[in-house]
Chains A and B, each alone.
Chain A
Amino acid sequence: VNQGFLDPELLLSLGAVAGLARVDADGGELRLGAMATHRAVEQAPAAAAWPVLQRAFGLVASPRVRNQATVGGVLADADYASDPPAMLAALGARAVLRSPGGERDVAIEELILGYYETCIRPDELLVEVRVPAQPAAAVYRKFRSRSSEDRPCVAVAAVRDGAALRVVVGAVAETPQHFPDVCALAGDGALDAELAAEIGRRYAERIAPIADARGSAAYRRRVTAVEVRRAVEALA
């Protein structure tokens, strides 16, 4: 809107809708209302058992931006160069979509379809995100090529839940990138340096990186190999 790409006649604020700004833990599940701000997620005692998620939200831009930006906004906007989607996807979070006809919930990877494109139907509102309990082994790495307040150039969210490894790479392509077959290489054994490097290499091969002011496609591919390796090493 500020840049003149959109010129809406009317903007409807959801700020006064009761219950949309919730941040609470409910039976081992974290429930984030669509209007909960990044800052609220970052600081809420109720989210303390999800430190990696608090970190991912806390690394977005500056406190002023985080006081305005919302959980629902960052997901519905589906900007590829954002921090929270990759982390939410790696944690297996689901978005709740409500319409006059009822409610459905979708995984983050199903929600975000492409550049600024989601599966939200015109009569639906993203009302909430539900995040399963965070395993102890979880990491979020944000690689910035410019300012500390910049969007990520390459973002890696990695979680190991028992034997299951989930690595999701954000900001390198139009949607968060997750390759379950590559993650399966981890098996249920130890994540040694060689394996971490192999997973990093394969992620770098598989992504179709975009080029923008934060880095060329070739550079993103190279950094993806490094950052995925480092993230997997950090889980060990």
Chain B
Amino acid sequence: VIDARVTGAQRYSVHVERPGMLHAAFVRSPHAHARVTAVDASRLPADCVALLPEDVADLAPYGCQARDQRVLADVARHVGDVVAAVAAATPAAARAAARAVDVSYEELPAVFDPVEAVAPGAPLLHPAAAQSAGEEVSIGVRPLPRTNVCHRFRIRHGDVGDGFEAADVVVQRAFRTPGAAHAPMEPHAALAEWEGERLTLWTGTQTPFNTRADVAYAFGLDAGDVRVVAPPMGGSFGAKTFVRLEALVAALARKAGRPVKATLDRTEEFLCLNRHPATLRVRIGATRDGTLVAKELDCWVDTGAYADCGPGVATKMGYAGVGPYRIPHVRVDALAIYTNLPPNGAFRGYGAMQSVWASERTMDALADELGMSPLELRRRNLLHDGDEFATGEVMHDVRFAECLDAAAAAVGYEDDPRGAGLCVLLKGMQTPSRAAIAVERTPVGYVLRSASCEMGQGVRESLRLMGAELLGCEPGQVEVPDPDTDTSPYDTRTTSSRSTHMMGRALVEAVRDLRDSGGDRGFGEVANEGGLDPDTGQGIASTHWHQGAAAARVRVDEETGKVTVEQLHGVAYAGRVVDRGGAELQNDGSMIMGLGTALFEAIDFADGQVANANLSDYNLPATGDLPARFTHELIEREGAEAHGLGETALPPVPAAIGNALHSLGIELHELPMTPERVLEAIDRR
């Protein structure tokens, strides 16, 4: 059977239609920061519906981690912020109607850099700190009042003053990473329909229950009065998380009295949600024998106009940047900072790429200072089972050394380190979280109801395979319907590479319950407990660790700065592999995204305006960009649990390539490593 995604038979959220539905178009601010003073829709054709500021006055602000966003912006905080919306019979009529809406603005000063945004006198985006969204997202948000900092995460472990005192060698480096586009093939699409006081949303989302809670809050509804149906997504990579278009189409549908659907075009995709640009500073100290004694990490994390999940990203960036090392004295300060750029949110790797790039590049600089092999320096300090991490938690089932050794061996690092680079990473999974699933017996097989969302990562197939094995039937007898908050049990969300690990264990419980009850329905639920104190970074960062490594071998055209990655090898610790083909594709996909991040992907802004909001000016990796030797491996262990691996092989790729350049004396501190930047680094050498 050929996959429906290959034949074109698969229906995605962009294909959902309802009788009598209208199409939405958005009126977007051309200014990066401006107060809306008037909206005039008098030129609108009679058969169009306009959503104006007075139509949303009764709606509460929403936001998954900080409630800082209004359905229509009264102050536009980025170019492209939605200040009004229209609905019409066709998408073309809606776009024409949106152009007929006149908006007057009073421009305000804007800021586009996270470091500048925390300087004294910087324009404030949200003068009053937003209310924390509470336990749905399980993060204690720590805004700094009257600043642009919407969250500050800290790790205080040991005493870094003492630690650096004991160090024989100390290196400090600063790094930058740009914004990036998720660029799923399918754009964002959402459809809203009201029946009385009950709202149904069909939307491509990784977070049906979070979206339900947030939309219900905005509209003053009980969560049970909002139904979210999540058709498969044509890619997401984090882009389709939390409330994106859902509140807008719900408000439009309420005004129109008809179903309303919105589908973004490619340009709008660059205004919807991107990856966090970041500036990072790393300081590491070691004794002469290469034992790490202290580390400091500062992250300025640009979350754009709205917090979205920036507090969570800053937190993960903060602790992933410690690296998988035993370090007795650690200080981390990670700030999620508002700027007048489009909002930044979850992006495959969830902050880990940025801090792993900075941290692992600094490790190679330290190795140079120590006169030691970068491989040896890492080996000497890696975390093993039973070691304490900077969060105070004790590590279990960690295989960092195996991952690193496998990467090094693949490129022959020990024989010839010149032109080669390594990177090893630790990344956490959403903690705490819950997952639940129901198994129903049918005359021909079984139905698995869960809120695990299919976005191309293959969770349906993983559940089908695990279900068939546990239930003793053929995979074809296991049906996995689309998530629907009315019929699927609660799940925290389909993010952080957690579904196979969490939902897989819930499924074991559900099948056991089905057997024990002797009936036609079984229910299983698992929870992982923990979380970090945002002020000290102590606690349980992750109940299960994503562990990986990468190795690269490069060739450089020293006259043009063009880097050819001749070999790239990615390693992910899989524990137990459920769907081998799917797992391998996850590694491939992660590494390809890592290559784009490393070599050329960046959103260019000019005064807050995206200058390359199309796929000709914004380049994505193509088949021709893959290294001649492009390999990966899954580390497995008898008796282990299934480990998440949907993101693991992305974050180490840029640092592996950067360290390969470092071995040639070419020092890059900013991504992407374009030929022009490489040539400048060669000039500095």
Q: Which residues of A does B touch, CB under 8 Å?
A: 2-4, 62, 143, 145-151, 153, 213, 215-216, 219, 222-223, 226-227
Contacts and interface: CB of A to CB of B under 8 A. Distances in A.
Given A153-B675, A223-B560, 10 more contacts: A145-B674, A147-B625, A148-B622, A149-B619, A149-B625, A151-B616, A213-B612, A216-B676, A219-B676, A227-B560
A141 to B, nearest CB: 11
B482 to A, nearest CB: 30
Contacts of B676: 145, 215-216, 219
B622 A3 contact: no
Given A62-B622, A146-B674, A148-B625, A213 B617 contact: yes
Contacts of B619: 146-147, 149-150
B559 A147 contact: no
A222 B560 CA distance: 8
B470 interface: no
B560 A147 contact: no
B255 interface: no
Contact of B562 (A3, A145, A213, A216): A145
B78 to A, nearest CB: 19
Contacts of A226: 559-560
Contacts of B675: 145, 153, 215, 219, 223
B5 to A, nearest CB: 18
A216 B622 CA distance: 23
Contacts of B600: 145-147, 150
Contacts of B599: 146
> What are the nearest 9 A-B pairs in CB distance?
A148-B624, A146-B600, A147-B619, A149-B622, A146-B619, A219-B676, A226-B559, A145-B675, A148-B625
Contacts of A149: 619, 622, 624-625
B306 to A, nearest CB: 25
A147 B616 contact: no
Interface string B598-619: 0110001000000111101101
B685 to A, nearest CB: 16
A227 B676 CA distance: 15
Which secondary structure dominates chain A's binding surface? loop
Chain B interface size band reads 20 to 34
A73 B612 CA distance: 22
B44 to A, nearest CB: 18
21 contacts: A2-B614, A3-B267, A3-B614, A62-B622, A143-B562, A146-B599, A146-B600, A146-B674, A147-B596, A147-B600, A147-B620, A148-B625, A215-B675, A215-B676, A219-B675, A219-B676, A219-B679, A222-B679, A223-B560, A226-B559, A227-B560
Interface of B: 265-267, 559-560, 562, 596, 599-600, 604, 611-614, 616-617, 619-625, 674-676, 679
A78 to B, nearest CB: 16
A153 B613 CA distance: 19
A34 to B, nearest CB: 22
Most buried by A among B611, B620, B625, B676: B676
B557 to A, nearest CB: 8
Contacts of A3: 267, 613-614
B677 to A, nearest CB: 10
A145 B562 CA distance: 7
B597 to A, nearest CB: 12
Contacts of A222: 560, 679
A77 B285 CA distance: 57
A145 B623 CA distance: 16
A149 B600 CA distance: 12
Nearest to B617: A213
Nearest to B614: A3
A196 B599 CA distance: 30
A147 B674 contact: no
A153 B600 CA distance: 13
B621 A147 contact: yes
Contacts of B620: 147
Contacts of B624: 147-149
Nearest to B266: A2
Most buried by A among B596, B604, B623, B624: B624
Contacts of A215: 674-676
Contacts of A219: 675-676, 679
B604 A213 contact: yes
A2 to B, nearest CB: 7
A150 B615 CA distance: 10
A227 B557 CA distance: 12
B87 to A, nearest CB: 19
Most buried by A among B599, B616, B622, B624: B616
Contacts of B267: 3-4
Contacts of B622: 62, 147-149
Nearest to A143: B560
A4 B620 CA distance: 22
Most buried by B among A146, A151, A219, A227: A146
B565 to A, nearest CB: 12
A170 to B, nearest CB: 16
Contacts of B596: 147
A149 B620 CA distance: 9
A169 to B, nearest CB: 14
Nearest to A79: B616
